[in-house]
Chains A and B, each alone.
Chain A
Amino acid sequence: MGIESQNNEIQNKIREIARDLLKEKKVDVIIGYKKGTLPLVSQPIIIDKEEDIDTLIWNNLCYVNLAKYLVPRVPKLIDPEKGNLKVGIVSKGCVGRALIHLASEKKINLNEITIIGIPCNGIINRQRIEMEIGEQEILEVSISGDNIIVKGEDFEKTFPFEEYMNELCKVCKIKSPPSISKFPNLCVGDYQEYSSLSTDFKDVTEFEAKNPEEKWEYIKDSLSVCTRCYACREACPMCYCNLCFVDQNKPIWFGKTTDISDIIVYHLIRAMHMAGRCVACGACSSVCPMGIDLYLINRKLEKIVKERFNFTSGLDPDILPPMVDFKMEDAEEFMLEED
């Protein structure tokens, strides 16, 4: 079965489930995706009427992590009288993980949420395609068989889907929301058991083997185009601080320029804050206007947390995230010791 027909099937299923949920008043609103105004993008949408259901879509361009809209709740999800509305959320694997992780940080209440679980087959790396097309305008994008077909006024290009997926999607093991035994009725769509999560982190170890100078040059080159627009922060479901560290200005303890040292400080601290929390959705890379791919840094975080604390984010709402927990016997091989 081709990717396109799979997508259509999932899309029909989402609409069917969403219609039932709204009709039976099990949820007040549904958060999902709708067609974007440009060919290579999609938009998030919040639906509360049955007649709008047909605007819901599913394809390989739905890169936004919808969990973002629950923390903090957007005004549309709060009723002046009823308080928090019951939300149904169209949820691929990483959205499900984000929801579970946010629940473990006590940011959302899973009882108020209904997950419409769907199996995701990977998100297209929009930036890479745009970069290769160059300045020509893309008018139409479609998927046929295993290829992405991009059409413009006087060109038509095909890209193999497997290769032009997000790097994080290529190694993704959790395609649909992970199941939680405590909440058997949480999910109305597909659920996934997560028994085998072994990853070899080949991409990260390859990079780690380089010497410091090479690493620094690579990181510097890839991040130097950053304009500090903070789109990565805005798209990230885990970035919910009321006042982000980069916005604190009393005192101004954080450089605001686009000088390379300030950029790297931003990305370093962003990475610190993501440790043990990143759910590998790739939303940060997908929204970057400069096409910076943060996947390597995010993978590194995943590796550190997996190896040091044997933790994978977004699987169990009852396990404490590693950065708020500690053990007496944590490894301390990096500490300075007498000879």
Chain B
Amino acid sequence: MTESSLESKKNNKDWEPKIIAFLCNWCSYAGADLAGVSRIQYPPSIRVVRVPCSGRVNPYFIIKSLTDGWDGVIVSGCHPGDCHYISGNLVARRRFAILNELLEFFGIEPGRVNFMWASAAEGERFAVLIRKATEIVKKLGPNKKFEKKW
């Protein structure tokens, strides 16, 4: 795709954001699965990457996703206290708290990167939150800040 056609695509009213979602294997991935088998509708904007735990998500994964042109990032793990690895999500939470503030400090729009908890039994919640995140990112528009010139 040439740059101009990419540009016109992004300016299009029907533009749908592309969001990369890092889901933990034990809760959120199963939650997404449940949403699927329960036939709960949510926007097809997310592409899922399955990770063993939200603690596995290096902040660089998130930033790299933004530089690679993803419009939004979602990281989802087990609720605090439910982590399969006891404390992986608690460690991750501190990391995300700092990353979130730093991204905002650097001028990335708040809402571009979203963090959430969803357990394996919460298919409905998962769908609702994905709907919400998609809406936020859609409002922000395409991610252009990190675009590489070459």
A304: Cβ under 8 A from any B Cβ: yes
Given the interface contacts A216-B106, A300-B105, does A326 sit within 8 Å of B87 by beta carbon? yes
**CA gap between A325 and B87 in the complex, in Å:** 10
The residue that A328 contacts in the complex, of B90, B115, B125, with Cβ under 8 A, is B90
Contacts of B133 in A (CB 8 A): 336
A323 touches B106 (CB 8 A): no
Q: Is the CB of B67 within 8 A of A255?
A: yes
Tell whether B50 is near chain A: CB-to-CB under 8 Å. Answer: no
| Contact A308–B97 (Cβ < 8 Å) | yes
- Inter-chain contact A272/B93, CB cutoff 8 Å: no
**Proximity string of chain B (114-127) to chain A, C-beta cutoff 8 Å, 1 when within and 0 when not:** 11110000000100
Q: Let me know if B67 and A268 touch, CB within 8 A.
A: no
The distance in angstroms between the C-alpha atoms of A275 and B109, with both chains bound, is 21
* Given known A219-B106, A269-B60, contact A328–B80 (CB-CB < 8 A): yes
- Contact residues in B for A260 (Cβ distance below 8 Å): 149
Q: Is A332 an interface residue (CB 8 A)?
A: yes
Encode A236-276 as 1/0 by CB contact (under 8 A) with B. Answer: 00000000010000000111010111101100110110010
Of B30-38, B40-48, B140-148, the one touching chain A:
B140-148
> Are A262 and B148 in contact, with the CB atoms below 8 A?
yes
The answer to whether A268 and B81 touch (CB under 8 A), given A326-B91, A326-B94, is: no
Residues of A within 8 A of B110 (CB): 212
Question: B residues within 8 A CB of A132?
Answer: none
B93 close to A269 (CB less than 8 A): no
Question: In the docked arrangement, what's the CA distance between A215 and B104, Å?
Answer: 9
The answer, yes or no, to whether A213 is at the interface (CB within 8 Å) is yes
B90 smallest CB distance to A (angstroms): 4
**Which residue from chain B places its CB closest to the CB of A220 in the assembled complex?**
B107
In-complex Cβ contact of B115 among A215, A308, A326, A334 (8 A): A334
In A318-339, the 8 Å CB interface with B consists of 322-323, 325-328, 330-332, 334-339
Say yes or no: B146 contacts A261, CB within 8 Å: yes
A255 near B102 (CB under 8 angstroms)? Answer: no
| A328 near B81: Cβ-Cβ < 8 Å | yes
Which residues on the B side are within 8 Å of A253 (C-beta)? Answer: 60, 64
A215 to B102, CA, bound (A): 11
Does B103 lie at the interface of the complex (its beta carbon under 8 Å from any beta carbon of A)? yes
Most buried by B among A216, A218, A334: A334
CB neighbours (8 Å) of B97 from chain A are 304, 308, 330-332, 334
Q: Is B106 in contact with A264, judged by CB distance below 8 angstroms?
A: yes
Closest to B109 in A: A212
In the complex, which residue of chain A has the Cβ closest to the Cβ of B124? Answer: A338
Q: Do B67 and A297 have beta carbons less than 8 Å apart? A: no
Partner of A214, one of B107, B125, B147: B107
Whether A156 sits at the interface, judged by CB under 8 Å, is no
List the B residue with the shortest CB-CB distance to A211: B107
Q: Taking the nearest CB of chain A, how far is it from the CB of B69, in angstroms?
A: 10
Which one of B64, B108, B117 contacts A335 once the chains associate, using CB atoms below 8 Å? Answer: B117
- Least CB distance, B110 to chain A, in whole angstroms: 8
> Do residues B99 and A272 form an inter-chain contact, with CB atoms below 8 A?
yes
Min C-beta distance of A78 to chain B, whole Å: 33
Q: Report the minimal beta-carbon distance from A246 to chain B, rounded to whole angstroms.
A: 11
> Does A208 belong to the interface (CB within 8 Å)?
yes
Instruction: Pick from B60, B129, B150: contact of A336, CB below 8 A.
Output: B129
List 28 interface pairs A-B (beta carbons < 8 Å), by A numbering: A207-B105, A212-B108, A213-B107, A254-B60, A255-B67, A257-B150, A261-B67, A261-B148, A262-B67, A264-B146, A269-B60, A301-B102, A304-B97, A304-B102, A305-B98, A322-B94, A323-B95, A328-B80, A330-B93, A331-B97, A332-B93, A332-B97, A334-B101, A334-B115, A335-B115, A335-B117, A336-B132, A338-B128
By Cβ-Cβ distance, the 5 closest A-B pairs, closest first, are: A216-B107, A215-B107, A326-B90, A336-B116, A261-B146
